[in-house]
Chain A
């Protein structure tokens, strides 16, 4: 090997070793969050993320980056419009700015908010009506070796007008590292304990606890295709050990008048067993109830039944029907 080539090879190896050491020993400390147990509807609440940086950089190198922070909240909170993120740290305090939708996260090829949703999902929540929103500090900060700091990110946000039980998601990261799937040092994620919003009108939206029966998407109209699930593992019911579960369902208009009813135990009403004592049925309400063009469904009432239709289970394992209201907001 020629001396020049050998020197180049050594240089490459040295850089590779430096990068590896740097990745292993540098990063953010675990993320914890302070979230109140509950709030009233439309209240402006402050959530706090606590994390820190532990730069281990070979002297005289430095590490310059911007702080990233993300929140996962219900879409109905409209947090893009009303959330404000600020941070405090020994290196300075500042406000964070939402990363524009047009900016692509380089690793995933989609925008930062979608990239965070794809990577972190909805955590321990069971129903998806959430959005991840990612913010970035307006200034860059330069770290030297062993310049360990703790920092807090404060999130102020209105909690929306719906009663709910929810576990919120939080993320901190370093802007120059992007959202690499294999990285565990520069992206820290945490989900809160159960946070309750009370005092509003309408049903409680429970994102956290398994539901006996539920319809998704959470927001839809009668022209959407909806998925009804029955989870027999949630509690003991009259349908324990039933192999086949059927649906009996009524639809009502805005005035509360009955439009149509499907009460039969056929393939049309049989839920598909998807394992784990869970069953589901997908249907398009307008077709399912054979609606005329000018008819609109406002609300559904339904029970799950056995193959004879005599044993049935309703809301909270009672004689009350499960209900679902069609709405987009």
Chain B
């Protein structure tokens, strides 16, 4: 019976000691989230409409977007995309962005796409969601960087 009381007490004491000994180490680890860098040339690898995957049925080979270090972007011509002209881009937040904000040339308003930046099968993806025509139709474009390994 004695052992039943003593053993948990000893384990608890060990646990607390271990916790306190970690304190300094934890506080010294940098927790700053890196700023998201989307510069480069991106090609579409997946396209869904209302959750239905259209990637295999549409020719996506020319579907690419370039984000330049100077804050501008360029598109291949004539694509179903929220912007139909080149312009400038920004993220809603440098570290924790939830939206990509585009300002096409000749347009007075920003166009906004929901932004995600996941790693899928070891490759960084740029995932943008938006409507093109009716708001009830939601498209998700998943891009991968071209020449990512170089």
Taking a contact as CB atoms under 8 Å apart, the answer to whether B58 and A282 are in contact is yes
Stretch at the interface among B64-72, B109-117, B135-143: B135-143
- Find the residue from A222, A223, A287 having the highest chain B CB count within 10 A: A223
Question: Which residues of chain B are near A75, meaning CB under 8 Å?
Answer: 136
Distance (Å) between the CB of B116 and the closest chain A CB? 16
Q: Which residue of the partner chain, among B54, B78, B84, B135, contacts A225 with CB atoms under 8 Å?
A: B54
Question: Which residues of chain A are near B80, meaning CB under 8 Å?
Answer: 223-225, 284, 286-287
SS class, residues of chain B in contact with chain A: loop
Taking a contact as CB atoms under 8 Å apart, the answer to whether A222 and B54 are in contact is no
Which residues from 52 to 78 on chain B have a C-beta closer than 8 Å to any C-beta of chain A?
54, 57-58, 78
Taking a contact as CB atoms under 8 Å apart, the answer to whether B135 and A328 are in contact is yes
Please measure, in the bound complex, the distance between the C-alpha atom of A326 and the C-alpha atom of B133, giving whole angstroms.
Answer: 10
Question: Which residues of chain B are near A286, meaning CB under 8 Å?
Answer: 78, 80
Question: Is the CB of B120 closer than 8 A to any CB of chain A?
Answer: no
Taking a contact as CB atoms under 8 Å apart, the answer to whether A280 and B137 are in contact is no
Quick one: given A217-B49, A217-B50, A287-B79, are A225 and B58 in contact (CB under 8 Å)?
A: yes
Please measure, in the bound complex, the distance between the C-alpha atom of A219 and the C-alpha atom of B50, giving whole angstroms.
Answer: 12
Question: Is the CB of B134 closer than 8 A to any CB of chain A?
Answer: yes
Question: Is the CB of A298 closer than 8 A to any CB of chain B?
Answer: no
Chain B residues bordering chain A, tally (CB within 8 A): 17
Which residues from 94 to 141 on chain B have a C-beta closer than 8 Å to any C-beta of chain A?
132-137, 139
Taking a contact as CB atoms under 8 Å apart, the answer to whether B58 and A217 are in contact is no
Taking a contact as CB atoms under 8 Å apart, the answer to whether A222 and B133 are in contact is yes
SS class, residues of chain A in contact with chain B: loop
Taking a contact as CB atoms under 8 Å apart, the answer to whether A272 and B57 are in contact is yes
Quick one: given A217-B49, A284-B80, A287-B79, are A224 and B133 in contact (CB under 8 Å)?
A: yes
Q: Which residue of the partner chain, among A217, A222, A287, A293, contacts B137 with CB atoms under 8 Å?
A: A217
Q: Which residue of the partner chain, among B54, B58, B84, B134, contacts A328 with CB atoms under 8 Å?
A: B134
CB-CB nearest in chain B for A329: B134
Question: Which residues of chain A are near B132, meaning CB under 8 Å?
Answer: 221, 223-225
Taking a contact as CB atoms under 8 Å apart, the answer to whether A287 and B78 are in contact is yes
Distance (Å) between the CB of B1 and the closest chain A CB? 12
Please measure, in the bound complex, the distance between the C-alpha atom of A326 and the C-alpha atom of B132, giving whole angstroms.
Answer: 13
CB-CB nearest in chain A for B50: A217
Question: Is the CB of A32 closer than 8 A to any CB of chain B?
Answer: no
Question: Which residues of chain A are near B84, meaning CB under 8 Å?
Answer: 293
Question: Which residues of chain B are near A282, meaning CB under 8 Å?
Answer: 54, 57-58
Taking a contact as CB atoms under 8 Å apart, the answer to whether A219 and B78 are in contact is no
Question: Is the CB of A263 closer than 8 A to any CB of chain B?
Answer: no
Question: Which residues of chain B are near A223, meaning CB under 8 Å?
Answer: 80, 132-133
Please measure, in the bound complex, the distance between the C-alpha atom of A219 and the C-alpha atom of B49, giving whole angstroms.
Answer: 13
CB-CB nearest in chain B for A286: B80
Q: Which residue of the partner chain, among A221, A287, A290, contacts B133 with CB atoms under 8 Å?
A: A221
Question: Is the CB of A220 closer than 8 A to any CB of chain B?
Answer: yes
Taking a contact as CB atoms under 8 Å apart, the answer to whether A217 and B136 are in contact is yes
Distance (Å) between the CB of B87 and the closest chain A CB? 14
CB-CB nearest in chain A for B54: A282
Question: Which residues of chain A are near B54, meaning CB under 8 Å?
Answer: 225, 227, 282
Taking a contact as CB atoms under 8 Å apart, the answer to whether B137 and A220 are in contact is yes
CB-CB nearest in chain A for B82: A223
CB-CB nearest in chain B for A283: B58
Nearest 5 pairs of A and B residues by beta carbon: A221-B133, A224-B133, A328-B134, A284-B80, A223-B133
* 17 examples of A-B residue contacts, CB within 8 angstroms: A217-B49, A217-B50, A219-B137, A221-B133, A223-B80, A224-B80, A224-B133, A224-B134, A225-B54, A225-B80, A225-B132, A227-B54, A272-B57, A287-B78, A287-B79, A326-B133, A328-B136
Residue positions of A touching B, CB distance < 8 A: 75, 217, 219-225, 227, 272, 280, 282, 284, 286-287, 290, 293, 326, 328
Contacts beyond the supplied A219-B136, A225-B80: 5 A-B pairs with Cβ under 8 Å: A217-B137, A280-B57, A282-B58, A287-B80, A293-B84
